[in-house]
């Protein structure tokens, strides 16, 4: 997407992507998200795009890159004005024995750079599944050290409901150079889970549907299904409701959280939810049950 914005102008246009962080709130005061800039509402994205849709030369400008993470045919049938397309599974290693395992860092750098994303880009991901695919890309960019990334709350459905402009002509991105700086504080391995078990504040969350959890799970994991992060419109629950959801499972701001699912997708969704609430220590075990469940040396339980 060719739109350029300064940090100041983007902050004015869109409260949903405010550059200046708001004070973080504890769970007990959760009348708004601790990190509201991680979500953008459709109306705010419309306001951010429309006034500058033909601008190419903001002084010291920062590019806004909107990425559609739906199937190609859905993108071609209609997408957000200026959005570039990314296949939902583009970052997945095609021949890995572990379903959902990620490509190499170098390959992912190339994929992200080919979307027009560099260190200065403000990035918005959206899909049509309540953020299911967008969340993985959100987590991945944070894990790789990128700032200024968010999810369109409610995705494609919310964009249409807000009267956003839809295009059918594909947007050709301007190639950029993306350099990763992976952060261990966002990523976990099977070894990390085993070591994490003994910590007094450790919580391991399995976000799969309950029937999958019952069929087999890590013995000390809590089952907190990812779909409960959403309201009936496919948007993230308001801060108070999302807070209450996690508090019911004794998850607090000071918790040391690792989460997993089946293959790294759904766990990223709950990662976003806890990041919205300001939980600082939260990691994703992206190889998830696909790896753990197939390793006979790792402990397992059924319900």
User: Residue 120: what pLDDT?
Assistant: 95
Q: What is the model's pTM?
A: 0.88
pLDDT tens across 118-159, in order? 999 999 999 999 999 999 999 999 999 999 999 999 999 999
- 184-292 shares the fold of 4-167: yes
Record: fold of 184-292: Oxidized Rhodanese; domain 1 (3.40.250)
Alpha-carbon distance of 272 to 167, in angstroms, equals: 28
- Can you state the angle between helices 266-276 and 239-247, rounded to 10 degrees? 110
Cβ atoms of 190 and 143 closer than 8 Å = no
Give me the residue spans of the domains in the chain.
Answer: 4-167, 184-292
Residue-level length of the chain: 303
The Cα–Cα gap between 241 and 228 comes to 10
pLDDT digits (tens), the chain, 303 positions: 444 443 333 443 343 333 323 333 345 455 699 999 999 999 999 998 875 443 333 334 568 999 999 999 999 999 999 999 999 999 999 989 999 999 999 999 999 999 999 999 999 999 999 999 999 999 999 999 999 999 999 999 999 999 999 999 999 988 999 999 999 999 999 999 999 998 889 999 999 999 999 999 999 999 999 999 999 999 999 999 999 999 999 999 999 999 999 999 999 999 999 999 999 999 999 999 999 999 999 999 998
Average per-residue pLDDT for the chain:
88
CATH homologous superfamily for 4-167?
Answer: Rhodanese-like domain (3.40.250.10)
Please spell the DSSP secondary structure of 3-39, one letter per residue.
-EE-HHHHHHH-GGG-SSPPPP--GGG-SS-SSGGGE
């Amino acid at each position: 997407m060719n739109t350029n914005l300064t940090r100041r102008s983007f902050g004015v246009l869109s409260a949903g992507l405010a550059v200046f962080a708001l004070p973080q709130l504890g769970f007990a005061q959760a009348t708004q998200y601790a990190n509201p800039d991680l979500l953008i509402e459709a109306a705010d994205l419309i306001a951010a795009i429309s006034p500058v849709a033909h601008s190419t030369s903001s002084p010291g400008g920062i590019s806004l890159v909107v990425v559609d993470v739906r199937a190609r045919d859905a993108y071609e049938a209609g997408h957000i004005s200026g959005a570039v397309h990314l296949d939902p599974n583009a970052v997945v290693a095609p021949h890995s024995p572990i379903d959902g395992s990620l490509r190499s860092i170098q390959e992912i750098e190339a994929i992200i750079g080919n979307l027009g994303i560099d260190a200065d880009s403000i990035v918005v991901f959206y899909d049509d599944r309540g953020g299911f695919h967008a969340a993985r890309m959100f987590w991945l960019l944070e894990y790789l050290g990128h700032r200024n990334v968010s999810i369109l709350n409610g995705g494609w459905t919310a964009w249409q409901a807000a009267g956003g402009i839809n295009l059918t002509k594909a947007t050709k991105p301007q190639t950029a150079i993306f350099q990763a700086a992976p952060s261990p504080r966002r990523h976990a391995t099977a070894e990390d889970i085993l070591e994490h078990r003994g910590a007094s504040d450790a919580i391991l969350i399995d976000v799969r549907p309950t029937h999958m959890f019952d069929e087999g799970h890590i013995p000390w994991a809590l089952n907190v299904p990812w779909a409960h992060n959403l309201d009936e419109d496919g948007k993230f629950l308001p801060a108070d409701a999302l807070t209450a959801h996690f508090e019911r499972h004794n998850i607090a701001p000071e918790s040391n959280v690792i989460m997993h699912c089946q293959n790294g997708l759904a766990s990223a969704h709950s990662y976003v939810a806890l990041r919205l609430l300001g939980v600082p220590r939260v990691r994703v075990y992206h190889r998830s049950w696909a790896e753990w469940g197939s390793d006979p040396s790792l402990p397992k339980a059924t319900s």
